[in-house]
Amino acid sequence: MCSSGAVVNVGHSDPPIKIQNAWINDVPVTHPGAAVDLFIGATLMSETKGMEYGGGHVIEDLIRGKSVDLRATAYGTDCYPRTEVETTITKDDLNQFILLNFRNGYQRYNCAVNGRDETIYTYMGKLLPKYRNATYSGAGEIAPLLNDPDYETIGLGTRIFLCGSQGYVIGEGTQHSPSAGLGTLMVKGDAKKMDAEFIRGATFTGYGTTLYVGLGIPIPLLNIGLAKKAAVRDEEILTDIIDYGIPRRTRPPIRRVSYRELKSGKIEVKGKEVRVSSLSSLEKAQRICEELAGWIRAGDFTLTLPVERMPNVGTAKPMRQTKGSAAFVDSIVHEAVTCSEDEAIEAIAKRLVTRNVNHIVVVDAAGKLTGIVTSWDITKATANGARTLSDIIVRRVYTALPNEPVEVVSKRLAQHNISALPVVDGVQKVLGIVTSEDVAKLVGGDCGG
Amino acid sequence: MLRFDNEKVHDPVTSQVILEEKVLLNIMSAYVNQQGGEILIEVAPADAERVAKAFRSKGVTVDVPKLIEKDDKCTSCGACVSLCPMTALGFGAGKKVELDEARCNGVTCGLCVDACPVRAIRLLG
């Protein structure tokens, strides 16, 4: 889970330093407190290796007992005169090394698919175009918060299994949304005692670094009600299939799906059978259950009651945006100059000139997109002696949707080195066109040719 | 993967093998010039050994590219499983992710490689 990290105290140097900027193995770490307290965020990435190594990997390496290189700079004060330091340390050299995850243990999560015609790389993994695969997260019927949905035993102070050691729930996690069935936990534990088998730095290509965290929570069956709730089955746990191809905060769910279907490896999406697999290890989840049960049976782990209950209602709010909200395609789309496939090349050439455009969108009788012709295509056709329009139409057309953010469209133009995108609705009916000039006016920078 | 040196590249070796072995080849990618060439072909598993032998007897270097999964790093998360078009990657006993090498298309596909969060999958060959 990305919202994970570790607090470390690296001890005072001589002369002492009040760290301003610090890096461990070239990963920038933050300095939210006093002189030598650092926070290693899982998603911060190496300045030399980029996405291949990040804060999550630093935490894993430290837990494995590996040496890491610490580099720090400072402005120097009367009490902390030193301005830079470089050293090599292991976890044994740290005063404290505390795993501190501000959002873990998601009750359940979405199932992700991609309706776009290009592969996308997301925090839900690699998603192939046109719903060709699906991914999901969460352990379903063995996920802690699904077994105690009313937060009767899980709360502040609950002792837990955290990465092979004993840790604690220290409250609700960020974005805790119990009313939506999307509860989260904040947890901490002594990372010096953790087992590297249950923690893993990870890279989601094209997205960034993160940290796999092994978390297990014992749920005492104090009464029949709790026993009933803890008997929850995968078929009763539903989540939404979401199209991550839509780059917006709100994405309309395609349909509901149960964890039983997800764990079967195949789901049906828009009439097609789609392979689906998890992103979080079900094998490890099972191992954690067994390990924790073993500790409890051996008397090495005692259960606690929460000191304080967690909120069991409420949902997370979206950001309040007070300045210049993001622009979307529908704010810059303009009328597309169109033609039909049976028109003569000369007529198209004329239209390009009279309408003063570089792109003509080819549509069928129903106004649906069938291709695009640019002024360059016409030039080439003249040079090569092409006779009919159908010889020169570009059929593989990249498009934009009216509700897409302009930044996304700008990226698509640059990626495919093109200068305009027809704007279409859900059934490929042409609504207009956006050009790189329109986008450049808003976004600035290079938007491709 | 077939590799032709600067002499072999002038002979119609691929056509010869097709005619002599009466086998269907699917050319996935090809890069050929005067200095030599590389052609990636796909054949039915039952024909693979025979075709490799035929090409080798004509002086062509034949590599059978495969995916290798490094078990010690794999956490069995499953991020690769849904991507595999050959269902070579799947969950085995105890929900462990397993690779069926015989089904794997190797470098002709490679969809799983950059999807592995712990970089446990590498392409060889």
> Which fold does the domain B66-124 belong to in CATH?
Alpha-Beta Plaits (3.30.70)
User: Which residues, 6 or more positions from A426, have their beta carbon under 8 angstroms from its beta carbon?
Assistant: none
B78·A204 Cβ contact <8 A: no
A chain contacts of residue B81, beta-carbon cutoff 8 Å:
265, 275, 277-278
User: Which residues, 6 or more positions from A385, have their beta carbon under 8 angstroms from its beta carbon?
Assistant: none
Q: Which of residues 49-78 of B touch A (CB under 8 A)?
A: 75-78
Give yes or no for B120 touching A (CB within 8 A).
Answer: no
Q: Is the dihedral of CA A98, A103, A108, A112 positive or negative?
A: negative
pLDDT of residue A446: 44
Q: Decide if pLDDT at B56 tops 60.
A: yes
B79·A205 Cβ contact <8 A: no
A128·B96 Cβ contact <8 A: no
B115·A126 Cβ contact <8 A: yes
Of A49, A277, A279, A291, which to mutate for an interface test with B (greatest number of B Cβ within 10 Å)?
Answer: A277
Task: Give the chain A residue nearest B73 (alpha carbons).
Answer: A200
Q: What is the pLDDT of residues A40-65, one digit of tens each?
A: 999 999 999 999 999 999 999 999 99
Q: Per-residue pLDDT averaged across B23-37, rounded?
A: 84
Min Cα separation A202/chain B (Å): 5
A282·B75 Cβ contact <8 A: no
Min Cα separation B82/chain A (Å): 5
Tokens, residue A22: 């610090």
Burial class (CB in 10 A: 0-12, 13-18, 19+), A379: exposed
Task: Give me the active site residues of A, please.
Answer: 79
List C-alpha distances in Å: A366 to A195, B8, B30.
Answer: 63, 55, 41
Residue B86's beta-bridge partner residues? none
Give yes or no for A114 touching B (CB within 8 A).
Answer: no
String of b and e for B41-73 (b: at least 16 CB within 10 Å)? Answer: bebeeeebeebbebbeeeebeeeebbbebeeee
Q: Are A182 and A255 in contact (CB under 8 A)?
A: no
Question: Predicted confidence band at A449 (pLDDT cuts at 50, 70, 90)?
Answer: very low
pLDDT of residue B10: 82
pLDDT of residue A327: 83
Min Cα separation B122/chain A (Å): 14
Q: What is the pLDDT of residues B57-85, one digit of tens each?
A: 988 888 776 666 666 789 999 999 999 98
Min Cα separation A255/chain B (Å): 19
Q: Per-residue pLDDT averaged across A411-415, rounded?
A: 89
Q: Decide if pLDDT at A447 tops 80.
A: no
Tokens, residue A309: 């209950």
Q: What is the pLDDT of residues A231-284, one digit of tens each?
A: 999 999 999 999 999 888 888 899 999 999 999 999 999 999 999 999 999 999
pLDDT of residue A448: 40
Give yes or no for B9 touching A (CB within 8 A).
Answer: no
Q: Where are the domains of chain B?
A: 2-62, 66-124
A276·B82 Cβ contact <8 A: yes
Mean pLDDT, chain B, integer: 85
Q: Decide if pLDDT at A325 tops 70.
A: no
Give yes or no for B110 touching A (CB within 8 A).
Answer: no
Element at A390 (helix H, strand E): helix A389-392
Of B74, B82, B83, B114, which to mutate for an interface test with A (greatest number of A Cβ within 10 Å)?
Answer: B82
User: What is the interface pTM, i.e. ipTM, of the complex?
Assistant: 0.78
Q: Are A2 and A211 in contact (CB under 8 A)?
A: yes
Question: Predicted confidence band at B28 (pLDDT cuts at 50, 70, 90)?
Answer: confident
Which residue, A107, A75, A84, A108, is CA-closest to A23? A84
Half-sphere exposure (CA, 13 Å, Cβ side) for B49?
Answer: 2
A236: left (phi over 0), alpha (psi -120 to 50) or beta: alpha
Q: Decide if pLDDT at A445 tops 80.
A: no
Q: Give me the domains of chain A, ranges plus CATH numbers.
A: 5-94 (no CATH), 104-174+214-309 (no CATH), 329-443 (3.10.580.10)
List C-alpha distances in Å: A399 to A179, A247, A366, A412, A413.
Answer: 37, 14, 18, 9, 10
Q: What is the pLDDT of residues A122-158, one digit of tens each?
A: 999 999 999 999 999 999 999 999 999 999 999 999 9
Of A113, A123, A126, which to mutate for an interface test with B (greatest number of B Cβ within 10 Å)?
Answer: A126
Q: Per-residue pLDDT averaged across A282-306, rounded?
A: 96
